[in-house]
């Protein structure tokens, strides 16, 4: 949508892609049902929310409504999302759905080690060992992990590293944070860099025809790598299916909670700004720790 070009540079590409996709969904529904998408009447938006399939989560509905709101503002139209009928339609849709979001399986240290041991000694295997180990250490999101460059690393006296995470999902202006890379992970990374001949630029690159290309991995590749290595490690099909690019972040946070760390240090390490989000990730580990202390 041409109007969204005004937002280039002010929002991340992922955010802009979401606005486009959500408004296209709304526009297609309007065309199929004889409604006008722009400007949309509040009754149209309310009917759109009411017609959403039950598989659409509450977060999806809120996101689509935000996209409709943003596009209308860009065209300087009135905001139909403010109408009470739309508010009621959203509440009605939310009450028919479970709000508890699904969560990726945590890649805790024992599962991490199984996946690393399952990686072969070829280029892809060396890369994946380092990626899994550093992803766990730094609690990076998949997009942050594949964005690492060699110049983002600083060697430490203990053999580990500091890794600069320049930009994050909840850090749109690039204040950045630092993550600690253990001596073990630094060693695995060094093996990969030497084998790949990387002395500058992107850390985790595509392996093509037994060589290493110039481009970084796509963020979606992280989840596929974890699933591939989990299958090779002989884990159950349920485990393979439950792993995602978020699993290293979740698992490391769970291990930190199980080791007795509080929420604030975990939030600082993982770059979280919401207590509710990180509390949801670690609640199982916290319950197990509390139960063990009680009995």
| DSSP annotation string for 68-107 | HHHHHHHTT---GGGSHHHHHHHHHHHHTS--PPP-PPP-
Tell which wins on pLDDT, 116 or 267.
116
Asked whether the whole model's pTM tops 0.85, one would answer: no
Tokens of 9: 């540079």
Closest-CA residue to 233 (of 105, 114, 112): 114
Average pLDDT in the 137-141 region?
A: 92
Residue spans of beta strands (DSSP E) within the chain: 153-155, 161-165, 177-181, 205-208, 211-216
Is pLDDT of 9 > 50? yes
Per-residue confidence at 280, pLDDT binned at 50, 70, 90? confident
Core vs surface per residue 80-94: b (16+ CB within 10 A) or e: bbebeebeebbeebb
Q: Which two tokens stand for residue 159?
A: 């053999």
Pair 85, 43: CB distance under 8 Å = yes
CA distance 271 to 253: 11
In whole angstroms, what separates CA 176 from the centre of its chain? 17
Residue 58 pLDDT greater than 90, yes or no: no
pLDDT digits (tens, 9 = 90+) for 198-234: 999 999 999 988 789 999 999 999 999 999 999 999 9
Greater pLDDT, 117 or 278: 117
């Amino acid at each position: 949508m041409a109007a969204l070009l005004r937002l280039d540079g002010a929002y991340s590409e992922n955010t802009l892609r979401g606005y486009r996709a959500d408004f296209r969904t709304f526009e297609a529904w309007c065309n199929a049902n004889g409604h006008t998408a722009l400007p949309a009447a509040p009754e149209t938006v309310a009917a759109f929310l009411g017609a959403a399939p039950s598989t659409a989560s509450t977060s999806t509905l809120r996101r689509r409504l935000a996209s409709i709101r943003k596009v209308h503002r860009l065209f300087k139209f009135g905001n139909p999302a403010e109408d009470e009928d739309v508010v009621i339609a959203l509440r009605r849709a939310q009450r028919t759905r479970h709000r508890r979001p699904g969560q990726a399986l945590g890649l805790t240290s024992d599962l991490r080690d199984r996946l690393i041991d399952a990686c072969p000694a070829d280029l892809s295997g060396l890369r994946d060992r380092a990626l899994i180990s550093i992803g766990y250490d730094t609690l990076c999101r998949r997009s942050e992990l594949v964005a690492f460059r060699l110049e983002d690393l600083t060697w430490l006296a203990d053999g580990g590293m500091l890794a600069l995470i320049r930009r994050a999902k909840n850090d749109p202006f690039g204040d950045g944070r630092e993550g600690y890379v253990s001596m073990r992970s630094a060693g695995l990374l060094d093996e990969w860099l030497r084998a790949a001949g990387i002395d500058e630029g992107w850390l985790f690159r595509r392996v093509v025809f037994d060589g290493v290309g110039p481009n970084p991995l796509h963020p979606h590749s992280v989840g596929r790598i974890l699933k591939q290595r989990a299958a090779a490690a002989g884990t159950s099909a349920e485990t393979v299916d439950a792993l995602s690019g978020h699993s290293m972040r979740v698992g490391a946070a769970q291990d930190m909670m199980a080791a007795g760390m509080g929420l604030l240090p975990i939030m600082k390490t993982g770059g979280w700004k919401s207590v509710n989000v990180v509390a949801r990730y670690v609640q199982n580990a916290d319950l197990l720790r509390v139960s063990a202390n009680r009995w």
